[in-house]
């Protein structure tokens, strides 16, 4: 009987079985940002510990950074204090920091892959739930809390309970105007926001294999929104080609060994799984959320479900969600007026996302009442987009072109909704208050759909704007 | 509104065989960590002061009166009784920290999000599960009688109150960590440094093609 990737990676990184029965797992790459790390460094300081493998931890700043100015000190004194803390901590503990003056700065889950730090077969940890992003390379990537950040700094290890593996096979191909974001939102709607608790999700099948690495990252990124702490895709030639030539890629003389080992970590054809699910990818359509968790979504042309028609356990939360959002049961989302359009985040802030959005924005204008932001996922993404002239496309269309950071995905920086604003957002969470105001409302969708909504001033089907407005499929 | 508990998580005796206290019910599925502690309160370099902001936005807009965390008779309650998928979303440890600093010492619910569950365990706060009808019964009971004593028995995996005892779910590893007082995993993980280095040395990517192969005491 063969093994799946999770079993192989787990085995290769197991230090020992702890007296509690948990596994002590070695972590190959640790990524750090300014929000969940200061208390961990302070714990080390208090206990007189040092960082055991300082060369295996990389830090950047993303959550709190303003995207309209990089001037220090920040206007927000609390943000400035956090920035000063990570600078001091990294200096004191000998950790590489890609700070605001570094052209490698950006969202931690964009930076790791684009620098070649993220590689197949690794264990990766970061104090952020979207660490699952790195699973796109066939790594086992875990979002952790601050106590565990402390553990990884001090020991390069985590104490973990075993995970089960669910293989999700997506057959078919995505139609025009449909993207990886639509695929993962569909998966979450079908399997539920807690369907993945206790599982790692292995995404497989024809549709997944045809995706680029950036699209695969979008899929794995939102695993946690389906309850799965870990999501991964088996490494293949697409992954290898992405890594080749990046700053932290293996040197030429080690490349063949690396490539062989990476591919050997992929799930065996006869591997077993704790659960298997099949989804027909060819019926995936552009998706928009209508509620307050990412599972509450519909294909853009369909009506919001009536809570009475849902399974009883989903009815109550659907009712609460509709009340908060101000939607009626059975209402259509198309035509919903938006106030803000946000393109960015670790889910959809990469170059291909900006290209898809720019393709919609090109030659059009945002609606006069819409505030539209494009926030590149990293400075490298920004530079690549600017080299292609995407910044000009967006600016000419009325979008603001900002500096790299998490921005309005969680609104810890000055980019926030106000009052009851409705935001068409390419981010990952539509929780109450998520975008910076307790009554602000979020509609999750693909970057192309956000650009289309920004232009129309309301939710539209992006397929009506591409291909000369002809509906395909 | 209660003042923040000034102690740090983890009193002297680290064993958590059972947690006893008054209950506080918070109904609703999928209560995420952004609701438990909104992101603006994450702009901090310590966890101090988070207790007073727990559920801040929900408390200001609670339909039909006072949010349970604002009800005078529920101040100093220690056992939080929630519904399904509590703590979903972000990995922010600020969420369990804010609950702990408000005074919560154990949670009972139908189900918990995984990272939240682990973050609670790392603070010595057990999250145990009960069948859905048992959770509803317990929520009813603590709402009816705020003085009711609720016992979360980690050792025997049960939740007891009044005359009732309901079987509770808790994974083996975490249960063992609570019973032996080893939920603060750092000490445990530091125990065998040579075994950590041995695993690092045998991982091809550590030794062959990524930097940072040397542990600090050798590399510096």
Q: Which of B91, B208, B209 sits opposite A36 (nearest CB)?
A: B91
Helical pair A146-155 and B114-122, crossing angle rounded to 10 deg: 70
Residues of A in contact with B113 (CB under 8 A): 194, 197, 227
Task: Say whether A157 and B61 touch across the interface (CB within 8 A).
Answer: no
Q: Hey, is A420 helix, strand or coil?
A: coil
Nearest to B86 by CA among B128, B45, B52, B122: B128
- Rounded to a whole number of angstroms, the distance from the CA of A215 to the nearest CA of chain B is 21
Task: Say whether A431 and B32 touch across the interface (CB within 8 A).
Answer: yes
In the prediction, which pLDDT does B214 show?
A: 81
Asked if residue A221 lies in contact with residue A132, where contact means CB atoms within 8 angstroms, the answer is yes
Q: Where are the beta strands (DSSP E) in chain B?
A: 18-25, 79-81, 106-109, 127-129, 149-153, 158-161, 164-167
- Rounded to a whole number of angstroms, the distance from the CA of B77 to the nearest CA of chain A is 25
Residues of A in contact with B60 (CB under 8 A): 438
Per-residue pLDDT of chain B (220 residues; tens, 9 = 90+): 444 544 455 445 899 999 999 999 999 999 999 999 999 999 999 999 999 999 999 999 888 889 999 999 999 999 999 999 999 999 999 999 999 999 999 999 999 999 999 999 999 999 999 999 999 999 999 999 999 999 999 999 999 999 999 999 999 999 999 999 999 899 899 999 999 999 999 999 999 998 877 887 644 3
Hey, do A5-275 and A287-466 end up sharing a CATH topology, with the first three levels equal?
yes
* Interface membership of B174 toward A (CB under 8 Å): yes
Residues of B in contact with A197 (CB under 8 A): 85, 111-114
* Interface membership of A109 toward B (CB under 8 Å): no
Domain covering A5-275 in this structure, CATH number: 3.30.499.10
Cα torsion A449, A454, A458, A464: sign: negative
- Residue A126 CA to residue A149 CA, distance in Å, equals 7
Q: What is the DSSP letter of B7?
A: S
Task: Say whether B176 and A36 touch across the interface (CB within 8 A).
Answer: no
B contact residues 106-135, partner A, Cβ 8 Å cutoff: 111-115, 118-119, 122-123
Mean pLDDT of chain B: 92
* Interface membership of A121 toward B (CB under 8 Å): yes
Residue B18 backbone dihedrals phi, psi, to 5 degrees: -155, 145
Ordered by start, the domain boundaries in chain A are 5-275, 287-466
Cα torsion A134, A135, A140, A143: sign: positive
Q: What is the DSSP letter of B208?
A: I
In the prediction, which pLDDT does A469 show?
A: 54
Mutation to test the B interface, candidates A33, A50, A92, A156, most B Cβ within 10 Å: A156
In the prediction, which pLDDT does B9 show?
A: 53
* Interface membership of B156 toward A (CB under 8 Å): no
Q: State which residues of chain A have pLDDT below 70.
A: 467-473
In the prediction, which pLDDT does B12 show?
A: 53
- Residue B169 CA to residue B146 CA, distance in Å, equals 24
A contact residues 392-421, partner B, Cβ 8 Å cutoff: 410-412
Q: What is the DSSP letter of A265?
A: T
DSSP code per residue over A334-396: TT-B-SEEEE-HHHH-SHHHHHHHHHHHTT----TT-EEEE--SBHHHHHHHHHTTHHHHHHH
In the prediction, which pLDDT does A1 show?
A: 86
Task: Say whether A159 and B189 touch across the interface (CB within 8 A).
Answer: yes
Nearest to B14 by CA among B121, B111, B109, B173: B121
Task: Say whether A155 and B219 touch across the interface (CB within 8 A).
Answer: no
* Interface membership of A254 toward B (CB under 8 Å): yes
Residues of B in contact with A63 (CB under 8 A): 42
Task: Say whether A78 and B176 touch across the interface (CB within 8 A).
Answer: no
Task: Say whether A26 and B203 touch across the interface (CB within 8 A).
Answer: yes
Is the ipTM above a cut-off of 0.85? yes
Classify residue B63 by burial, with Cβ atoms within 10 Å: 0-12, 13-18, 19+. Answer: exposed
Strand partners, B20: B151
Helical pair B114-122 and B94-102, crossing angle rounded to 10 deg: 50
- Residue A357 CA to residue A352 CA, distance in Å, equals 9
Contacts of A228 (CB under 8 A, 6+ apart): A132, A166, A195, A196, A197, A199, A200, A201
Asked if residue A304 lies in contact with residue A326, where contact means CB atoms within 8 angstroms, the answer is no
Q: Which of B29, B45, B209 sits opposite A81 (nearest CB)?
A: B45
CATH fit for domain A287-466, picks 3.40.50.920, 3.30.499.10, 3.40.50.300, 3.10.129.10: 3.30.499.10
Q: What is the pTM of this model?
A: 0.96
In the prediction, which pLDDT does A365 show?
A: 98
> Rounded to an integer, what is the distance from CA A15 to the centroid of its chain?
29
B contact residues 74-103, partner A, Cβ 8 Å cutoff: 84-85, 88-93, 96
């Amino acid at each position: 009987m063969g093994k799946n990737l999770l079993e192989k990676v787990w085995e290769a990184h197991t230090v020992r079985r702890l007296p509690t029965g948990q596994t002590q797992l070695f972590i190959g790459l640790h990524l750090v940002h300014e929000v969940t790390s200061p208390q961990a460094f302070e714990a080390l300081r208090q206990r007189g510990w040092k960082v055991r493998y300082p060369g295996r931890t990389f830090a950047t700043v993303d959550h709190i950074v303003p995207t309209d100015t990089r001037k220090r000190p920040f206007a927000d004194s609390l943000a400035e204090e956090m920035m000063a803390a990570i600078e001091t901590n990294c200096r004191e503990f000998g950790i590489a920091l890609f700070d605001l003056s570094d052209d490698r700065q950006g969202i931690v889950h964009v930076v790791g892959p684009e620098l070649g730090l993220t590689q197949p077969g690794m264990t990766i940890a970061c104090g952020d739930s979207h660490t699952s992003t790195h699973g796109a390379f066939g790594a086992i990537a875990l979002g952790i809390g601050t106590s565990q950040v402390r553990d990884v700094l001090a020991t390069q290890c985590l104490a973990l309970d075993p995970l089960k593996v669910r293989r999700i096979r997506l057959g078919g191909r995505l139609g025009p105007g449909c993207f990886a974001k639509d695929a993962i939102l569909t998966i979450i709607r079908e399997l539920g926001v807690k369907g993945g608790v206790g599982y790692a999700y292995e995404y497989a099948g024809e549709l997944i294999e045809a995706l680029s690495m950036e699209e695969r990252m979008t899929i794995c990124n939102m695993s946690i929104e389906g309850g799965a702490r870990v999501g991964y895709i088996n490494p293949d030639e697409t992954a290898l080609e992405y890594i080749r030539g990046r700053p932290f890629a293996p040197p030429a003389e080690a490349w063949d060994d690396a490539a062989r080992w990476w591919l050997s970590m992929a799930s065996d054809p006869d591997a077993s799984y704790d659960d298997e699910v099949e989804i027909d990818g060819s019926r995936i359509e552009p998706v928009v959320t209508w509620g307050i968790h990412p599972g509450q979504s519909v294909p853009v042309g369909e009506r919001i479900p009536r809570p009475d028609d849902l399974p009883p356990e989903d009815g109550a939360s659907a009712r609460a969600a509709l009340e908060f959002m101000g939607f009626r049961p059975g209402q259509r989302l198309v035509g919903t007026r938006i106030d803000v359009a946000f393109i960015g985040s670790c889910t959809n802030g990469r170059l291909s996302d900006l290209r898809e959005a720019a393709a919609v924005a090109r030659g059009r204008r945002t609606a006069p009442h819409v505030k539209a932001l494009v926030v590149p996922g990293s400075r490298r993404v920004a530079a690549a987009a600017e080299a292609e002239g995407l910044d000009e496309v967006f600016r000419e269309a009325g979008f603001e072109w900002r500096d790299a950071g998490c921005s309005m995905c969680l609104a810890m920086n000055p980019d926030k909704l106000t009052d009851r604003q409705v935001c068409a957002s390419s981010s990952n969470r539509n929780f109450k208050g998520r975008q910076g105001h307790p009554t602000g409302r979020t509609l999750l969708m693909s970057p192309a759909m956000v650009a289309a909504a920004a232009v129309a001033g309301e939710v539209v089907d992006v397929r009506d704007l591409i291909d000369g407005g002809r509906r395909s499929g | 509104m209660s003042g923040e508990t000034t102690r740090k998580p983890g009193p002297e005796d680290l064993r958590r065989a059972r947690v006893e206290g008054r209950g506080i019910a918070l109904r609703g599925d999928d209560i995420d960590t952004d609701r438990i502690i909104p992101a603006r309160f994450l702009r901090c370099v310590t966890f101090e002061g988070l207790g007073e902001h727990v559920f801040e936005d929900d408390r200001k807009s609670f339909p039909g009166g006072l949010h349970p965390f604002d009800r005078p008779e529920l101040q100093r309650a220690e056992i939080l009784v929630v519904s399904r998928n509590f703590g979903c979303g972000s990995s922010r440890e600020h969420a369990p920290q804010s609950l702990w600093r408000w005074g919560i010492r154990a949670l009972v619910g139908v189900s918990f999000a995984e990272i939240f569950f682990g973050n609670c365990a790392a603070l010595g706060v057990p999250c145990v599960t009960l069948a859905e009808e048992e959770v509803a019964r317990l929520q009813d009971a603590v709402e009816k009688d705020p003085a009711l004593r609720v016992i979360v028995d980690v050792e025997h995996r049960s939740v007891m109150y009044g005359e009732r005892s309901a079987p509770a779910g808790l994974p083996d590893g975490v249960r063992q960590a609570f019973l032996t007082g080893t939920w603060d995993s750092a000490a445990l993980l530091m125990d065998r440094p040579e075994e950590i280095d041995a695993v690092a040395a045998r991982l091809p990517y550590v030794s062959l093609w990524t930097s940072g192969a040397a542990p600090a005491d050798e590399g510096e």
